[in-house]
Amino acid sequence: MEIFKILNNNVVTVIDHKQEKVIMGRGIAYQASIGDTLDESKIQKIFVLSHYDDADRIISLLQTIPLEYLQVSDVILKEAKKTLDIDADIIFISLSDHIKGVVDRARKGIQLRNPLLPDIRRFYVKEFEFGLDALQTINQTFGVQLLEDEAAFIAMHLLVNMEDSQNGENLAYQMTQIIQEIIQVVSDFYQIEYNENSVDYYRFIMHLRLFTQRLLGHQSYEANEDDEDLLAALKRKYYKAYQCSEKIKQFIKEAYAYDITDEELLYLTIHINRLNHA
């Protein structure tokens, strides 16, 4: 196989049987050039880009994720394939990016609570137990001590994928429609058309997928006291992003009779601020 694109020292793409494939391996592109023959002894993981609807964004995102996070995600999802009915490759990139963000925040002393923790622990036992095992792997690998809430977040990544598979096109259509509407609210508020190939746009879309699943599942929750304090701080620090989140809250209430809680406003504010200050 010949190198088609070099994303960084550890990730390249190749064309194999007319398919563009991503190849991961430590130092696999070191001192290499496009067109060179790949050192197959360094290959650690291969996945096919055509499995993703947004291959260009996947490539952009891969350039920002260090290899160790991709490796941990791969280890975690190999276990998921054994124990759960899930197409693990579909969420490989989003989970890798999620783990990087969680570890980065934890090292700054920031950990977010998951208000769905009790429900996920109770109603999605296998997925939550898997999340706990994944949490242990992340803690040991990166020397952090993540809260149990993170096990629920990991379970949610798996659940979104399984819901999509089981409910098919109807769910995907509904989610896409709501996401497009929210993006339009944000675009109108800031008077800007966003680069859909940007990494921050992709991250925002991933967050909105989780949100729309909760909306369509009629799940709602209240923020705890810590979240209320954090939201108050973000309201002062990211005032414009918070005002945009309030616009989304008003739209969702009118269009879908769904109340966005302070917890959800917190996450929306963080993502909207990052989207507009990348």
Q: Where are the domains of the chain?
A: 1-51, 167-276
Q: pTM of the predicted model, to two decimals?
A: 0.62
Q: What is the mean pLDDT of residues 90-100?
A: 86
| Per-residue CA distances from 146 to 32, 121, 153, 164 (Å) | 38, 17, 11, 28
CA 141, chain centre distance (Å): 20
Q: What token pair was written down for 171?
A: 């769910």
Is the model's pLDDT at 19 over the cut of 70? yes
Q: Which residue has the higher pLDDT, 248 or 86?
A: 248
**Please, which residues bridge with residue 204 across strands?**
none
pLDDT of residue 255: 93
Q: With 50 as the cut, is the pLDDT of residue 168 above it?
A: no
User: CB under 8 Å to 119, separation ≥6 — which residues?
Assistant: 219
pLDDT reading at 203 higher than 90: no
Does the pLDDT of residue 147 top 50, yes or no? Answer: yes
How far apart, in whole angstroms, are the C-alpha atoms of residue 141 and residue 220?
Answer: 34
- DSSP annotation of 197: T
Could you tell me the strand order of the sheet in which 3-8 lies?
3-8, 11-16, 19-24, 45-48
User: Region 3-15: what's the mean pLDDT?
Assistant: 89
For 130, phi then psi, to 5°, come to: -65, -40
List the CATH code of the domain at 1-51: 2.30.24.10
In degrees, rounded to 5, the angle at the alpha carbon of residue 8 between the alpha carbons of residues 7 and 12 is 50
Q: Which residue has the higher pLDDT, 59 or 172?
A: 59
> Residue 226 has what pLDDT?
63
Residues 243-255 have pLDDT tens digits of 999 999 999 999 9
Instruction: Tell me the Cα Rg of the chain.
Output: 19
Which CATH class name applies to 167-276?
mainly alpha
Q: Answer yes or no: is pLDDT of 135 > 90.
A: yes
**pLDDT at res. 165:** 47
Q: Is pLDDT above 50 for 58?
A: yes
Distance (Å, whole) CA 87 – CA 158: 9
| Range with lowest mean pLDDT among 19-33, 141-155, 197-211, 255-269 | 197-211
